[in-house]
Chain A
């Protein structure tokens, strides 16, 4: 219905024509090119029809030439609605201000709730949070991500084992788990100490149990290092003399057994390499984005760095609990520098050894000690040095293994 298209947007009026042969009035309108629709004859001398708002002026000039009576009976469309609204300007202003206020308040922290930890730790946490700027009354989008706060908190509050930070609307929920100091030694059942890796025993300190190996012995994984059965030998010697059913003395074997173990590691080290570094120069930019559009607020113009590393943080703006399609974006532009290195073969070997040692140390944990390393084999091909390394390590190889209750009697 093309005639009605946009009529609601631009507005239209319904008119009532009274007089002799009212349809002739519409006939005249038609001749003038005025669009008329929904013409109805309500009585012999009355006719109603709808006309666009901007045709009304012409309507009046036509009316002057005829002796029909014209009355407006209905007004519809946007212009009339807007007019009605703008008449109540205070109301509109109040509405806009209240919406702005709600948006403003929706982006402020109202409450920080900490659960799951005793009060002293809670106080400590809230003190730390204050330092990060997380307190009631703070702007939400000036804060870090919950995950970042989480990491920071675990670092700064040593009593915390784990902390979950969740932002729900205007409330921050923190759930902490306190590190409980575990009793050093829990009395365990009878146990042996068993080797976990093959190696040569270097050092033995047995606090409980019967040692079954000596220093410089070679052990394989699964070998018993310290036995939890103390009077085993007695059993052997006095075989038959006493009852086989007599009780064995069982203890929880304990001690530190350090052994020299060895690993074969192969590493690849390129002779040349590129890497990028941030120079430390940086600039910040702030935007407000709506869908795909971005409106800069602060930090216009681009820095004249050659290579730029961008880091973008987006914070959604909330309205009550809903997230608005508007987000606050801050971007950090850092200068990036490319470096390339050329290594000699010797340097490459050294880096390879360092790398292998670091990796192994990470794997084995801080208590292990790397004693020596030896290059078993090296080849150079396609700009890479391939190394086979032999690394010997001193580490604790003992592992507790509970003694199964012996089936006695046979």
Chain B
């Protein structure tokens, strides 16, 4: 049953032009220059420090590095990070 769902979703995205982040439960990351990162659809905080933010997502982790990090806002599934960003990396499971 789960396999079948996982197959039908990319198909829906492709042929019905549905937004991929919603359909596939993937994070949506908006970056404004070097100063803001806005992440929706994440699944929890893994590590957070002045220079690093690691978020759990559907398939693995997102790791953001930089300096002077402040979490401007934290809501379930939404995070707004402020600071100087130097790296955004995806780490698959």
Contacts and interface: CB of A to CB of B under 8 A. Distances in A.
Interface in B28-68: 44-45, 47-50
B72 interface: yes
A47 B45 CA distance: 14
Would you call the interface of chain B mostly helix, strand, loop, or mixed?
Answer: strand
A37 B71 contact: yes
A23 B4 CA distance: 37
Contacts of A24: 45
Contacts of B49: 23, 41, 44
Contact of A49 (B47, B71, B75, B76): B71
B70 A40 contact: yes
Given A30-B75, A38-B72, A23 B45 contact: yes
A37 B45 contact: no
Interface residues of B, number: 14
A35 B74 CA distance: 6
A37 B50 CA distance: 15
B76 A39 contact: no
Interface in B64-88: 69-76
Nearest to B48: A23
Given A24-B45, A30-B45, A39 B74 contact: yes
A1 B82 CA distance: 13
A35 B77 CA distance: 12
A36 B48 contact: no
B45 A27 contact: yes
B76 A37 contact: no
Would you call the interface of chain A mostly helix, strand, loop, or mixed?
Answer: mixed
A197 to B, nearest CB: 93
Most buried by B among A3, A36, A39, A44: A39
A31 B71 CA distance: 16
A33 interface: yes
A47 B53 CA distance: 14
Given A23-B47, A23-B48, A24-B45, A38 B75 contact: no
Interface residues of A, number: 21
A37 B72 contact: yes
A26 interface: yes
Given A23-B47, A27-B44, A39 B70 contact: yes
Given A30-B76, A31-B76, A38 B45 contact: no
A41 B74 contact: no
Contact of A26 (B45, B47, B70): B45
A35 B70 contact: no
A44 B51 CA distance: 11
Contacts of A1: 73
Contacts of A40: 50, 69-71
Contacts of A33: 76
Contact of B75 (A3, A39, A44): A3
A38 B70 contact: yes
Given A23-B45, A23-B47, A38 B71 contact: yes
B44 A39 contact: no
A295 to B, nearest CB: 45
Contacts of B74: 26, 29-30, 35-37, 39, 49
B81 to A, nearest CB: 9
A198 B15 CA distance: 109
A30 B70 CA distance: 16
A37 B72 CA distance: 5
Nearest to A22: B48
Interface string B2-39: 00000000000000000000000000000000000000
Contacts of A38: 70-72
Given A23-B48, A24-B45, A27-B44, A41 B75 contact: no
Contacts of B47: 21, 23
Interface in A38-76: 38-41, 44, 47, 49
Contacts of A27: 44-45
A26 B69 CA distance: 15
6 interchain residue pairs of minimum CB distance: A39-B71, A23-B48, A27-B45, A36-B74, A3-B73, A37-B73
Interface of A: 1, 3, 21, 23-24, 26-27, 29-31, 33, 35-41, 44, 47, 49
8 contacts: A27-B44, A29-B74, A30-B75, A36-B74, A37-B71, A38-B70, A39-B71, A41-B50
Given A35-B75, A38-B70, A47-B48, 12 more contacts: A3-B75, A21-B47, A31-B76, A38-B72, A39-B48, A39-B74, A40-B50, A40-B71, A41-B48, A41-B49, A41-B50, A41-B69
